[in-house]
Amino acid sequence: MSATAKGSQDQSDIFTGTTPTPELKDARSVKGTPAAAMPAFVLGQELAELAVSDPRIVVLTADLASANRTVEFKARHPERFFDFGIAEKNMITAAAGLASCGQLPFAATFASFCALLGAEQIRTDCAYPRMPVRVVGHHSGLSMGFYGTSHHALEDLGMMRTIADLTVVCVADANQLRAVLRASLDHPGAMYIRLGRGRDPEVYAEVPADFRFGRATRLREGRDLTIVATGAEVRPSLDAAALLEAEGVSVRVVDMHTIKPLDAGEIRAAAAETGAILSVEEHNVMGGLGSAIAEVLVELDRLPFKRHGVEDQFVPVGPPAALYAHFKLDAAGIAETARALLDAPHR
């Protein structure tokens, strides 16, 4: 039986967009997004390209080379690829060891495994000695759906942003991922890069040439409300802003891709120039983007502000599309939450 025969785990044709009409199980989650434009699926491809001119780059994974597409890096640079099996903590510690020898390691696995399971190794082995390790947590938030709580990562931002000297960044789409990877090559210290499930629709039509860690991107202007979103929630937040605009509500949308260091200046500008702020994240409302924004706002004069994400609870098992709708993390849900904030008595 060939590698692409029925029953094989090799789905490269689907992941790279060469299959004309890929049959994906959860059509509602895909919404026509081209396979070649899926963030998790360009990870290996982009790193393989960068590695041609940067001999420091090595890639590590934990039995997920196909899921995160680092298999594409392996195909081009097999001597610089390491699969640790189901041993995520060992992988992160080994990455720190490689970094100490002058390598630039990118260690990728599910966000729930690297950020939650490997938090001690990220803190002690990578961030504390300022090793240039890039821990890539893909399939973050509740995007693993049916896999349940053990595979959901709704606490990772809160955990990672409390680690000193660790840069924390969330990726919205494929082009932004390319920008993040390129910018990370000469960035000092350790980094946690958070990806979605790989089916995130386009936010950036091209690779952002002006991407900078710690500097948010204002995607849309408005005066009534600022939606500050991160990662997979940037696209639905833009769509929610369009729904609200049709109702006469002027909405600014900010992509706060870097959770740490946070662009406090952009938050202060939103507080001064718009009527309210709504944070949107695929994360527990405690400890993540909303909490980081609240820490800035508490030093300012009060204005309406709401944190929108998964309330302090575990996510039930179910299809991702249904879970996003349940927690109001789709465009309709974000718009509904924004309306409630704008219509609240304090207004």
Amino acid making up residue 11: Q
pLDDT range class, residue 303, cuts 50, 70, 90: confident
Distance (Å, whole) CA 346 – CA 134:
43
Q: Does residue 317 contact residue 146 with C-beta atoms inside 8 Å?
A: yes
User: Lowest mean pLDDT: which of 75-79, 189-193, 305-309?
Assistant: 305-309
12-194 carries CATH number 3.40.50.80: no
Collect all residues with Cβ–Cβ distance below 8 Å to 255 and sequence separation of at least 6.
172, 203, 216, 217, 218, 219, 229, 230, 234
Instruction: Give the model's pLDDT for residue 257.
Output: 98
Give residue for tokens 């408005």: 222
Residue spans in the chain of domains classed CATH 3.40.50.970: 12-194
CA distances from 190 to 121, 122, 135, 141, 257 (A): 11, 8, 8, 21, 17
| Bridge partners, residue 305, by sequence | 277
Provide CATH code, domain 217-343: 3.40.50.920
Instruction: Give the model's pLDDT for residue 35.
Output: 52
Determine the average pLDDT of the residues in 261-265: 96
Q: Does residue 99 contact residue 121 with C-beta atoms inside 8 Å?
A: no
Burial letters for 219-246: b for 16+ Cβ neighbours within 10 Å, e otherwise? bbebebbbbbbbbbbbbbbbbbbebbee
Determine the average pLDDT of the residues in 291-309: 85
More confident residue, 295 or 5: 295
Q: Quick one: tokens of 296? A: 């800035």
Collect all residues with Cβ–Cβ distance below 8 Å to 109 and sequence separation of at least 6.
61, 62, 64, 68, 88, 91, 136, 137, 138
Q: Quick one: tokens of 122? A: 């990220």
Q: Does residue 242 contact residue 232 with C-beta atoms inside 8 Å?
A: no
Instruction: Give the model's pLDDT for residue 252.
Output: 98
Helices in the chain by DSSP H: which ranges? 12-15, 27-30, 39-53, 71-76, 88-100, 111, 119-121, 156-160, 174-184, 234-245, 264-273, 289-297, 320-326, 331-343
| Helix/strand/coil for 48 | helix
Q: Which of 344, 342, 265 is nearest to 299 (CA)?
A: 265
User: Lowest mean pLDDT: which of 30-34, 76-80, 145-149?
Assistant: 30-34
Collect all residues with Cβ–Cβ distance below 8 Å to 23 and sequence separation of at least 6.
none
Instruction: Give the model's pLDDT for residue 13.
Output: 57
Residue spans in the chain of domains classed CATH 3.40.50.920: 217-343
Q: Quick one: tokens of 192? A: 């946690």
Instruction: Give the model's pLDDT for residue 3.
Output: 40
| Bridge partners, residue 289, by sequence | none
Instruction: Give the model's pLDDT for residue 6.
Output: 40
Distance (Å, whole) CA 96 – CA 241:
42
- Above 60 in pLDDT, residue 26? no
Distance (Å, whole) CA 341 – CA 347:
8
Instruction: Give the model's pLDDT for residue 194.
Output: 97
More confident residue, 304 or 76: 76
User: Taking the model in full, what pTM does it have?
Assistant: 0.82
Cis upstream peptide for 78 (omega within 30°): no
Instruction: Give the model's pLDDT for residue 39.
Output: 52
pLDDT tens, position by position, 87-110: 999 999 999 999 999 999 999 999
Determine the average pLDDT of the residues in 213-240: 97
Q: Does residue 158 contact residue 287 with C-beta atoms inside 8 Å?
A: yes
- Above 70 in pLDDT, residue 221? yes
The average confidence (pLDDT) of the chain is 88
Tabulate helix, strand, coil % of the chain (nearest 5). Answer: 40, 20, 40
Q: Quick one: tokens of 347? A: 């207004």
Kindly state the percentage of the chain with pLDDT values over 90: 73
Q: Does residue 189 contact residue 208 with C-beta atoms inside 8 Å?
A: no
Instruction: Give the model's pLDDT for residue 311.
Output: 82
- Above 80 in pLDDT, residue 11? no
More confident residue, 186 or 12: 186
pLDDT tens, position by position, 64-73: 998 899 999 9
